[in-house]
């Protein structure tokens, strides 16, 4: 399968003839920053047993191989995107740019891409910068952004809301407000999170956002810190009074679940209304989780991963009182953005969960029966792309974004 574009992109890898010592150093470095290499096995928790599925030998294969059609070629990581309308995509570039891609304008015209002025300043270091973007579920042209907000030293994951106002020669983000700033700050350039998802509950919309452990792993188990948590906020950025730890002494009321490491995938199943999350482990131990109210997912006390230099982490993989992953991968594939397929544009995919991977450099299709993965398919592994984000468009097609700055459609 090849890109329907003028260019073919490949991932950065060591060249032939590189010394073996340098290869070892390169492998460890890439694993620490991006996740361990691909060629993984997925192990699926099924009651008291562990089902193992080989990632390199898919258990299911699409009858008609899908293709990737590139619609935009940028120069920076496209961390997140959403649809303002059927023909307009708002996207974030990690270094801090906010843009609108006009799909109905020819690629030859400069007006196809509009730079949105007034985006918040970000601390663009390592994995930090301008992160996810989601369109307000009720207000047209209003968008939420997550980003690493600059501190006196370092940055902290934050959430803000603003309105896109069109101008004669572009667009501007106005009425901008930072709604929430986490205490997960510091100078480390890793594990910021931070995906956004909405869910309507009891006639009100709620916003969920993920925050990584910021390389302070023990804080993922503390209710006094936002590190390593899924948060539940109202649309004004305030904690729900019915959140599991609201009113509890020395606990942040915003916390919905805890014990996460680097959660970069968050998606609501439109059929069941369940919230699903994917997070990166260290050297192995990437997880697919069903997010539950007040649940503890174990990191760093429990994990299927290991330290990058070999030793085990914590007290094992499972333990009573902690939530086990629905699926985990050893070695890592580095799961990122994911999306459920609700349309029948590709009939065999309807109801599947698509997950982008970074070090795995593929899109993985998961078929679930209840809370168990029954089949999987590895897609586009020949493209060498780090698939950062996925989203189903208003037209029913699935769209993707990559770290190479590509935004496109799966057809």
Report strand pairing: 229-234 vs 255-258.
Answer: antiparallel
CATH code for the domain of 395: 2.120.10.30
pLDDT tens by residue, 234-268: 999 999 999 999 999 999 999 999 999 999 999 99
pLDDT tens by residue, 275-317: 999 999 999 999 999 999 999 999 999 999 999 999 999 999 9
Measured over the CA atoms of residue 87, residue 92, residue 93 and residue 98, the dihedral's sign is positive
N-terminal to C-terminal alpha carbon distance within the chain: 11
Nearest to 165 by CA among 155, 175, 157: 175
The mean pLDDT of the chain is 88
pLDDT tens by residue, 139-174: 999 999 999 999 999 999 999 999 999 998 899 999
Confidence of residue 73 (pLDDT cuts 50, 70, 90): very high
pLDDT for the residue numbered 183 = 97
Q: Which domain holds residue 307?
A: 3-410
The answer to whether residue 44 scores a pLDDT higher than 60 is: no
Structural contact between residues 216 and 227, judged by C-beta atoms closer than 8 angstroms: yes
Nearest to 164 by CA among 103, 94, 117: 117
Active-site amino acid positions = 191
Question: Please, what's the b/e burial string for 283-320 (b: 16 or more CB within 10 A of its CB; e: otherwise)?
Answer: bbbbbbbbbeeebbbbbbbbbbbbeeeeeebeeebeee
Q: Give the chain's domain count.
A: 1
The mean pLDDT value for 330-334 works out to 95
């Amino acid at each position: 399968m090849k890109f329907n574009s003028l260019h073919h992109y490949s991932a950065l890898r060591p060249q032939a003839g590189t010394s073996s010592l340098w290869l070892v150093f390169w492998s460890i470095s890439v694993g620490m920053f991006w996740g361990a290499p691909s060629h993984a096995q997925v192990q699926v928790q099924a009651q008291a047993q562990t089902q193992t599925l080989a990632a390199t030998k898919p258990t299911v294969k699409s009858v008609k191989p899908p293709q990737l059609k590139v619609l935009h070629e940028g120069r920076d990581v496209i961390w997140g995107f959403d649809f303002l309308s059927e023909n307009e995509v708002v996207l974030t570039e990690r270094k801090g740019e906010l843009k609108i891609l006009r799909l109905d304008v020819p690629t030859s015209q400069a007006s196809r891409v509009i730079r949105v002025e007034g985006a918040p300043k970000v601390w663009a270091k390592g994995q930090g910068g301008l992160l996810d973007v989601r369109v307000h579920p009720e207000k047209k042209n209003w968008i939420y952004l997550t980003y690493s907000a600059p501190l006196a030293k370092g940055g902290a994951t934050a959430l803000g809301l603003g309105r896109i106002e069109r101008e004669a020669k572009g667009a501007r983000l106005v009425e901008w407000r930072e709604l929430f700033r986490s205490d997960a700050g510091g100078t480390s350039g890793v594990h910021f999170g931070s995906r956004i998802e909405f869910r309507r509950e009891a006639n009100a919309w709620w916003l969920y956002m993920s925050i990584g452990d910021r390389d302070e792993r023990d804080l993922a188990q503390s209710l006094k810190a936002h590190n390593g948590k899924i948060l539940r906020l109202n649309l004004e950025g305030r904690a729900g009074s019915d959140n599991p730890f609201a009113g509890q002494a020395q606990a942040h009321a915003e916390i919905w679940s805890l014990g996460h490491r680097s959660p970069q995938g968050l998606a609501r199943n439109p059929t069941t209304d369940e919230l699903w999350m994917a997070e990166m482990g260290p050297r192995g131990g990437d997880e697919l989780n069903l997010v539950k109210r007040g649940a503890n997912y174990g990191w760093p006390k429990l994990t299927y991963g290991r330290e990058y230099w070999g030793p085990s982490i914590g007290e094992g993989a499972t333990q009573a009182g902690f939530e086990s992953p629905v699926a985990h991968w050893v070695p890592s594939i580095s799961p990122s953005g994911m999306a459920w397929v609700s349309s029948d544009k590709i009939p065999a995919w309807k109801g599947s969960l698509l997950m982008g991977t970074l070090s795995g450099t593929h899109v993985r299709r998961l078929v679930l029966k209840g809370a168990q993965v029954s089949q999987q398919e590895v897609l586009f592994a020949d493209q060498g792309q780090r698939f950062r984000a996925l989203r189903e468009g208003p037209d029913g097609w699935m769209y993707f974004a990559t770290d190479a700055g590509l935004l496109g459609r799966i057809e």
